[in-house]
Structure 1
C-alpha cells in the first residue's frame, strides 16, 4: 500500500483480499492518498467476484 501511495497524478482502484479482518483494518488505515479508491474484501469472496 505504501508504494501505491507514492504514485502521483494517477487514479488507482485497488481491491485487497484477505482472510484476516485485523490485517484489513490495518490496510484501511494506511490509505492516505486521495487518488486511491480502495475496496477491502474479507467475507464471502466467491459472492463478491460474482457481482
Structure 2
C-alpha cells in the first residue's frame, strides 16, 4: 500500500506542472529512434505506398 501512496504523490507533483514544463522535461525523440524503417508510418508501422 505504501507504493500506491508514493505513486499518488508523484502524480500530484506532475499535475502541478504546466504542459510546457512537461514538454521541457522530455527530451525530443528523433524519428529514426521511433521506427527502424524510414518508409513505415511511425504509429501504425504501415508502409506508405
**Which structure is higher in helix share?**
2
TM-score normalised according to structure 1 size = 0.29
- Relative contact order, higher structure (CA 8 A, sep 6+): 1
